[in-house]
Structure 1
Amino acid sequence: MNRPSAVPMLIEWERFTEENPQGDIREFASWLLTHTDPLRKDPFRKDLPARASQLLQDEPVAQAEPLMKSGMRLSEAFQENGDFLAWFFMGRLIRYVKFYTKAMMAQHGMSGPDEFLFLSLINEMDRPTKKEVCIAHASELTTGMDILRRLRTLGLIEEHADERDARSKRLTLTDKGHKTIGEVSMGLAQLQHSVLADLDPANRKHLIETLQYLNNYHFPFFKL
């Protein structure tokens, strides 16, 4: 039985220790996730769609990242500016999600995934107020109120008087709202492309934990 060679991993370990003489195995694992590009190194992967494989063979850099005038891809040109790269790639992921879900959201009268996220939060929270939903979504109040207004116009949510505060309204889903969540959730599960791509379970868990950490770090500084 053929076993995968450990040589490539040892080579990467040598690279890592040259850059990080005091680095440990945990730091190496994180470094490995961010410094290796399996699609670029193996452009003939059989599990990639034919068109994607062709793009990787023809233009492995320019198709995925813009080329700078220096001839380097964006991640190489800005490798010392981690914040910029984080903004760039997280922004792109959000646009990919909007692209993948655009038709599905339009089918249900929604303009984008934010409206579905609001709907899902209201469904899972305990009769939240409008402000509580906006805070949960980390959305500015004016933007959040516009989204809630659209959801109400679509007949997906309804308002109820707050027994403890006459100035507030509590939100719940209508029957149509519950039905919409079920249909959209089913459609999302059948999308050809997952936002987490083909990451294995360990890498998915690592990514989610990192995103959760960043969310928990930044949330106290966020003001509505």
Structure 2
Amino acid sequence: MNRPSAVPMLIEWERFTEENPQGDIREFASWLLTHTDPLRKDPFRKDLPARASQLLQDEPVAQAEPLMKSGMRLSEAFQENGDFLAWFFMGRLIRYVKFYTKAMMAQHGMSGPDEFLFLSLINEMDRPTKKEVCIAHASELTTGMDILRRLRTLGLIEEHADERDARSKRLTLTDKGHKTIGEVSIGLAQLQHSVLADLDPANRKHLIETLQYLNNYHFPFFKL
């Protein structure tokens, strides 16, 4: 069995060290994904799904990245401001998810994916309190309590007295809640567009690990 040559990797390492003399192996791995994956090189590539390509042709002003007065795309104009680009693109991704799932959530009486996430957390956690669910979702208490109130009104969750603390209530799913979890999960699996698009398994794993790292980094500073 022929083993793949390591020469291409060494060539890329030379390119990387020329551009980033102080770069380490972890940075090289990220650089390699960005510079050798055609998907990441140009999101306006020719092999976009037909519908997306047609939309870009029909409405050039409404491209995925707005054009700045300089004539550059947003990512070019703000290429030195990584934090701003992260806010912009993560905010966009959340709105895409809401758009894809809007009709499905409305069909089950929910206003958006946050309510489904709360329902899923309650399903997987061990009879959590309301505060525990809010913390798990990194949601402000007032917002989280409103979501829990709506889920209870929909008949998806129910409260039980906490045997150890009379001031707290434990949450579980009702039969309707379990049924809703199953139906929405099937619907999400059948969505035309995955939130991770057409990323291959390696890129999916890398993205999720990066998001997990950012979550773990920021959570200690988050105050409810």
Q: How does the TM-score come out when normalised to structure 2?
A: 0.87
1:49-87 deviation digits (Å, cap 9, x = unpaired): 212234567888961101111111111111111110000
Kept in 2, the 8 Å contact 1:158–1:172? The answer is yes
1:12-50 deviation digits (Å, cap 9, x = unpaired): 766533431233454222023345673586789786421
| TM-aligned CA distance change 1:17 to 1:69, over 3 Å | farther
Kept in 2, the 8 Å contact 1:127–1:172? The answer is yes
| TM-aligned CA distance change 1:63 to 1:13, over 3 Å | farther
Percent identical among aligned pairs is 100
Mapped pair 1:99 → 2:99: yes
What residue ranges of structure 1 are gaps of 5+ in the alignment?
A: none
Kept in 1, the 8 Å contact 2:34–2:41? The answer is no
Kept in 1, the 8 Å contact 2:56–2:62? The answer is no
1:124-162 deviation digits (Å, cap 9, x = unpaired): 000000000000000000000000000000000000000
Q: Distance in 2 between matches of 1:11 and 1:102?
A: 47
| TM-aligned CA distance change 1:36 to 1:65, over 3 Å | farther
Which is worse superposed, 43-52 or 144-153?
A: 43-52
Kept in 2, the 8 Å contact 1:40–1:56? The answer is no
| TM-aligned CA distance change 1:164 to 1:44, over 3 Å | closer
| TM-aligned CA distance change 1:55 to 1:106, over 3 Å | closer
Q: Distance in 2 between matches of 1:179 and 1:122?
A: 14
Which is worse superposed, 192-201 or 58-67?
A: 58-67
Q: How does the TM-score come out when normalised to structure 1?
A: 0.87
1:174-196 deviation digits (Å, cap 9, x = unpaired): 00000000000000000000000
| TM-aligned CA distance change 1:167 to 1:43, over 3 Å | closer
> Shift in Å at residue 219 of structure 1?
0.4
| TM-aligned CA distance change 1:13 to 1:75, over 3 Å | farther
| TM-aligned CA distance change 1:10 to 1:41, over 3 Å | farther
Which is worse superposed, 93-102 or 39-48?
A: 39-48
| TM-aligned CA distance change 1:106 to 1:2, over 3 Å | farther
> Equivalent residue for 2:18?
18
Kept in 2, the 8 Å contact 1:129–1:171? The answer is yes
1:75-133 deviation digits (Å, cap 9, x = unpaired): 11111111100000000000000000000000000000000000000000000000000
> Shift in Å at residue 3 of structure 1?
14
Q: Distance in 2 between matches of 1:19 and 1:149?
A: 54
Kept in 1, the 8 Å contact 2:35–2:41? The answer is no
| TM-aligned CA distance change 1:90 to 1:40, over 3 Å | closer
